[in-house]
Chains A and B, each alone.
Chain A
């Protein structure tokens, strides 16, 4: 410990780490960056990325939407991202198991702070957050490409 004075040894010691990291980035085992966008990093399990609306994958309701249009996600959302308009299922036109489904499900992704409250509020685990994080797009004018509609969110291809 050299208190109050500059020691050449200490400086060299520090630079050694810098140099080692620098060299390591050319493929050594210490690499922390990836060749984005050629390669993509796998996110942590609990990473909160872009949302997706799920369907039932098994059981009697297989193929139906999980969302029941309850708008609890919209209520939980602190950033007022979500707009839900509910409507009634009929026997001919059935979207979800019960009587109610979301006719409109819009998310304004520019507002989203990715807090995950919506997924926590959802009673049916219909809205989930996947690991995608590439949200850039090229139009805020109409049609605003940052407003994701139900069609965009349902069956959305996702990475993990």
Chain B
């Protein structure tokens, strides 16, 4: 395709020929060729270049004539035959003078500065500067300030490169930093948005070349060279952002991006960046808890494991195989899933296991859906470089922030056409060419309608037609991204089939241009869980050790609730708070005689368990994870003082207690076994796994999507229950890592019900009121906030909030609610009760 073709030109650098890309500014090509060109204001994220610092000056000659003035290489495009000089007298002199100028007001406090050791100004002063200053006037001083919940601002260190201002203007749009005044009085000012949780502000720490913007949690934690770095992957979404876990003296010191240009491009969200604090927190469990009627008892991990093993063995002895169910969340590594699957098969003899969240409304994955995941998905590179991105039922900023920001940047620069359809508005649509707002639970209607409109057969509701029109001209290629609203739908399998059909319809309407379908999975290793939890679907013969899964999550929970299962073993999955059907989970937990919970932190599910075992957190267990683009990457364990068990070790302990002996699996052994069983799983040296990861394509027969064109009826509020309930996934929710990281304590988290101002007026509610949402199953009381991004006739709540769990109301089926202002006295009581409970 024309748009991906690269044009090259030949230039000469200090007399040495070099071939460079025609569309790239000289600075980047030179740096890529290992020429040391100092620069401050240019950054790979920032385009167009600002060219304000004048550090990157070079001399340029074209057609035998030297240009009269030095040029800034960060804003000069190369041309054929151009000669560039980096070492001539005027260039060297200009750098020296420029640097002296930059240092005029800069304090000499490198020894106490957190940036010391990785500071561009420090490095370049060493390389290109003069060793003594001539400036004897007073330097500008101004006391430090708190920038937002995560960062502090050291005004006197700022040397006005303006990178942070450009980051706000051209990248994240939050405009946290601005310049005020002009000339010698220019100074940087910060404008935090009170009451709003920042999403991408942490990247300012990286983009500021000096120590003007630094992290509060990293303050004085240690020098960059003193830290132990381990490669890992952002563990709170499925993008697979590459990060470094930095630790010092056995404690986590910080998380920094690892700059994988194919994945996150160095842009990570604030939760990924700052949630490491939970690893240093005392709330990270290190001891087991045994609970009984009489109370609870803290015991050592070994004692907890042997107790759990003993009781599991008793259940097994009494009720035989298929009496114990195993559940695991989506945060485990693939190796750990394999260990679990083997354990279920060989020790428990149970087919009742489920890994990852419920993606298919509790059912087992359908063949068509799996085929769509495997055969129609693009890479993240392909999504951000596509001509058109259609985001359906997913808020990329909240669900896959790194990907969302990259798409947002491309849309802002008009490199791609962003089309978006969702049940409510969001920041992620701010550069969308077209946004379609449909009522929640009407996604299937939209998708089928679009297919119908594109293929010209069947009906399409009027409000979706403009979107269909846009999809007729997708340019070179199109990526359809979908997420949360599909996973929370009552019939995701049907919806995914409809999406596959839509994909074919878009391709057909555009003469067979490539169209991809990309699911945004909810968890870091949801794809791995899908793979390892359904090995037989991916053509791995079960053998004696592996038993095929007995059905989906719902089958398992129903078996537990009906008394067929006598014990449940749950690995790091707060199923009680997140599974849409809370009543079923409650019943399942209450009916089985034994619940063993194994996880790094406490949560409502673990509190319902009889035995709670500690497990390493995301930073402590090593293994590979599979991202939404089927990229297999390794998470290494940070170098920490506290030892932590991984799943294989826990299983080892349990099995030893059950049978007297166990096969001690290592992660490396499990990885090799995984590659053995699943030949498509990328086989690399485990210890030295390539950082950027390897993309894989599981083997699976391609299933043709069923073509159906009938539109489901529109789902709306009813007379009794006028509002449609929208459980929304937010970046800031009650996940343990956010709850247990003190850095987030003050962040304004979205634990409100959000309602359109119009509706608020109708129900006579004011912002901050406690509102009781009722449906026919139950009710939930929480404070209300007015938000114009909510579609009238619906109410949005955080889908993971422990204090007011949405699954009290919601199920997989569409839910309508009736809002009612809670009695103030009642609210006061509730507040009292909750504060009493906290004590």
- The reply to whether B223 and A75 contact each other, CB–CB distance below 8 Å, is yes
Which B residues from 99 to 134 make CB contacts under 8 A with A? 109, 111-112, 116
A98 at the interface (CB under 8 A from B): yes
Minimum C-beta distance from A3 to chain B (A): 58
Partner of B220, one of A69, A72, A75, A83: A69
Given contacts A98-B112, A123-B111, contact A88 B249 (CB under 8 A): no
Chain B residues within an 8 Å CB radius of A120 = none
Q: Is the CB of A100 within 8 A of B220?
A: yes
Q: Within 8 Å of chain B (Cβ to Cβ): is A70?
A: yes
Main secondary structure of the interface of B (DSSP, over half): loop
In the complex, are the beta carbons of A75 and B225 less than 8 A apart?
A: yes
| CB contact list, B197-226 vs A, under 8 A | 219-220, 222-223, 225-226
B interface, size bucket: 10 to 19
The answer to whether B111 and A74 have CB atoms under 8 Å apart is no
What count of chain A residues pass the 8 Å CB interface test? 17
| Among A69, A72, A83, contact of B249 (Cβ-Cβ < 8 Å) | A83
- By a CB distance below 8 angstroms, the chain B residues around A70 are 111-112, 116
Give the residue name and chain of the B residue nearest to A98 (CB). B112
B111–A72 contact, CB under 8 A?
A: yes
Contacts of A99 in B (CB 8 A): 112
Closest to A96 in B: B112
A149: min CB distance to chain B, Å? 15
Flag B577-596 by CB within 8 Å of A: 1 or 0 each.
00000000000000000000
- The answer to whether A71 touches B112, judged by C-beta atoms less than 8 angstroms apart, is no
Q: Which residues of A contact B111 (CB under 8 A)?
A: 68, 70, 72, 123-124
The answer to whether A71 touches B223 (Cβ under 8 A) is yes
When distances are taken between beta carbons in the complex, the residues of chain A under 8 Å from B112 are 68-70, 98-100
Residue picked from B112, B222, B249, most chain A C-beta under 10 Å: B112
Nearest-CB distance from A110 to chain B (Å)?
19
Residues of B contacting A83 in the complex (Cβ-Cβ under 8 angstroms): 249
With CB as the reference atom, state the residue of chain A lying closest to B116.
A70
Is A86 interfacial (CB-CB < 8 Å)? yes
Q: Chain A, 42-85, contact with B by CB distance < 8 Å: what is the 0/1 string?
A: 00000000000000000000000000111110110000000101
Given contacts A70-B112, A98-B112, A99-B112, A88 and B223 within 8 Å (CB-CB): no
| Pairwise interchain contact A88-B225, C-beta atoms closer than 8 A | no
Contacts of B109 in A (CB 8 A): 98
Contact B220 A74 (CB under 8 A): no
CA distance A69 to B112 in the complex (A): 7
Nearest A residue to B248, CB-CB: A85
Question: Does the CB pair A88–B220 fall under 8 Å?
Answer: yes
Q: How far is the CA of A88 from the CA of B219 in the complex (A)?
A: 8
Q: Tell me the minimal C-beta distance from B395 to chain A in angstroms.
A: 38
In the complex, which residues 70-119 of chain B have their Cβ closer than 8 Å to any Cβ of chain A? 109, 111-112, 116
Shortest CB distance A146–B (Å): 19
B residues less than 8 Å from A123 (CB atoms): 111
A87 within 8 A of B: yes
A85 pairs with B249, CB closer than 8 A: yes
Q: Given that A99-B112, A123-B111 are contacting pairs, would A71 and B222 also be in contact in the complex, using a CB cutoff of 8 Å?
A: yes
A88 to B216 CA separation, bound complex (whole angstroms): 12
Residues 344-376 of chain B, each 1 if its beta carbon lies under 8 Å from chain A, else 0:
000000000000000000000000000000000
Asked whether, in the complex, the Cβ of B249 is within 8 Å of the Cβ of A71, the reply is no
> In the complex, A113 Cα to B359 Cα: how many Å?
61
CB-defined contacts of A124 to chain B, threshold 8 Å: 111
Per-residue CB contact flags for chain A residues 96-109 toward chain B (1 = under 8 Å, else 0) read 00111000000000
User: Do B226 and A74 touch (CB < 8 A)?
Assistant: yes
CA distance A34 to B23 in the complex (A): 79
CB-CB nearest in chain B for A100? B112
Are B220 and A86 touching (Cβ within 8 A)?
Answer: yes
State A86–B222 Cα separation when bound (angstroms): 7
With known contacts A83-B249, A99-B112, A100-B112, A71–B226 Cβ distance under 8 A: yes
Give, as a whole number of angstroms, the nearest-CB distance from B106 to chain A.
Answer: 16
Enumerate chain B residues within 8 angstroms of A68, measured Cβ to Cβ.
111-112
Interface residues of B in 212-248 (CB under 8 A from A): 219-220, 222-223, 225-226
The distance from the CB of B118 to the nearest CB of chain A, in whole angstroms, is 13
Give the residue name and chain of the B residue nearest to A85 (CB): B249
How far, in angstroms, from A83 to B249 measured CA to CA in the complex? 9
Best-buried of B111, B219, B223 by chain A (most CB within 10 Å)? B111
Cβ–Cβ < 8 Å partners of A85 in chain B? 222, 249
Known: A71-B226, A100-B220. 18 other contacts (CB 8 A): A68-B111, A69-B112, A70-B112, A70-B116, A71-B222, A71-B223, A72-B111, A74-B226, A75-B223, A75-B226, A85-B222, A86-B220, A87-B220, A98-B109, A98-B112, A99-B112, A123-B111, A124-B111
A-B contact pairs, 9 of them (CB 8 A): A68-B112, A70-B116, A71-B222, A75-B225, A83-B249, A86-B220, A86-B222, A123-B111, A124-B111
Point out residues on B near A: beta carbons under 8 Å: 109, 111-112, 116, 219-220, 222-223, 225-226, 249
Q: Considering the complex of A and B, which 7 residue pairs feature the smallest CB-CB distances, nearest first?
A: A70-B111, A86-B220, A100-B112, A123-B111, A71-B223, A68-B112, A98-B112
